[in-house]
């Protein structure tokens, strides 16, 4: 329900502000991605917790989810971008050796179900430089991760463990829009590149997105429609993160293709 409210408010605010104040540009987009996981995670006592490979040990499948974003570009003030992008990887695997996750040990040959489920909320403030054909952007982002990692014995559902993780992450934001006129004053080809990064106390989070899109046509009193395809890469390297009096470590890479449609006001 909160996802629906979030996306609805994002749409209404973008449309109403852009309509009320012509000097303000706005973009609203919706997309769909297919992301594959790799890497490892561990949770529990650092001396006993097992390092679990997302592919070999847990057999996690791809995440296929919709996402939303809105951009309001103010004169003088920094532009505001708000994004919601979830991901969920789950799968069933058979452990080759005894593993420990949290306070639970899963013996050799146990069939386990794993669910890695996170919502991402990004709020970015950035300035752009008005250079012809290329529009560099720089600013800051606060990424909020809200989710959990659960491992459950399929033969004994009571034998399970869950790590609930909520984490606000301040990041550096850098990007660029490259616009190539396709039909002057009617249609453009746009290459949109953006990156967010932070590193501290052994943690390192990298979030990259590359999108190529075509601005299709302009609808009177509405805006210019666009459609595009791109690639997403996210790396979550967390080192000795305290979660419920236990230690969580990870080096998770999430990457894959995406498609978008939207409106520029």
Write down the pLDDT at residue 220.
67
Work out the number of other CB atoms within 10 angstroms of the CB of residue 181.
12
Under DSSP, the state recorded for 17 is H
- 133 contacts 160 by C-beta, under 8 angstroms: no
CA dist 18 → 1, 6, 22, 92, 138 (Å): 26, 18, 6, 47, 22
Write down the pLDDT at residue 183.
72
Q: What six digits make up the tokens of 145?
A: 């991760």
**Mean per-residue pLDDT of the chain:** 88
Write down the pLDDT at residue 14.
44
Write down the pLDDT at residue 182.
75
Name residues whose C-beta falls within 8 Å of residue 103's C-beta, 6 or more positions apart in sequence.
44, 161
Name residues whose C-beta falls within 8 Å of residue 16's C-beta, 6 or more positions apart in sequence.
none
Of 14, 22, 138, 133, the C-alpha closest to 78 is 138
Write down the pLDDT at residue 180.
85
> Which residues does the chain have with pLDDT short of 50?
1-2, 4-21
57-77, pLDDT tens digit by residue? Answer: 899 999 999 999 999 998 889
Q: What six digits make up the tokens of 242?
A: 């305290």
CATH architecture of the domain with range 2-264: Beta Barrel (2.40)
End-to-end CA distance of the chain: give it in Å, rounded: 27
């Amino acid at each position: 329900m909160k996802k629906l409210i979030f996306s609805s408010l994002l749409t209404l605010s973008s449309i109403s502000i852009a309509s009320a104040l012509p000097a303000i540009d706005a973009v609203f987009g919706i997309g769909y991605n297919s992301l594959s996981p790799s890497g490892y995670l561990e949770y529990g006592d650092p001396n006993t917790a097992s390092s679990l490979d997302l592919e070999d040990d847990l057999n996690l499948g791809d995440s296929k989810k919709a996402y939303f974003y809105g951009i309001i570009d103010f004169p003088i003030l920094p532009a505001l971008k708000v994004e919601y992008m979830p991901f969920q990887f789950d799968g069933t695997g058979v452990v080759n050796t005894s593993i420990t996750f949290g306070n639970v040990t899963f013996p050799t040959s146990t069939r386990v179900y794993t669910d890695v489920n996170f919502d991402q909320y990004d709020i970015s403030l950035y300035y752009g430089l008005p250079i012809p054909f290329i529009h560099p952007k720089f600013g800051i982002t606060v990424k909020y991760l809200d989710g959990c990692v659960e491992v459950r014995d399929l033969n004994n559902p009571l034998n399970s463990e869950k790590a609930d993780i909520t984490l606000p992450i301040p990041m550096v934001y850098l990007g660029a829009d490259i616009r190539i006129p396709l039909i002057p004053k009617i249609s453009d080809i746009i290459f949109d590149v953006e990156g967010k990064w932070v590193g501290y106390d052994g943690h390192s989070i990298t979030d990259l997105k590359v999108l190529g899109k075509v601005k299709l046509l302009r609808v009177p009193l509405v805006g210019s429609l666009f459609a595009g395809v791109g690639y997403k890469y996210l790396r979550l390297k967390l080192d000795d993160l305290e979660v419920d009096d236990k230690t969580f470590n990870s080096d998770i890479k999430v990457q894959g293709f995406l498609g978008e449609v939207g409106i520029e006001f």
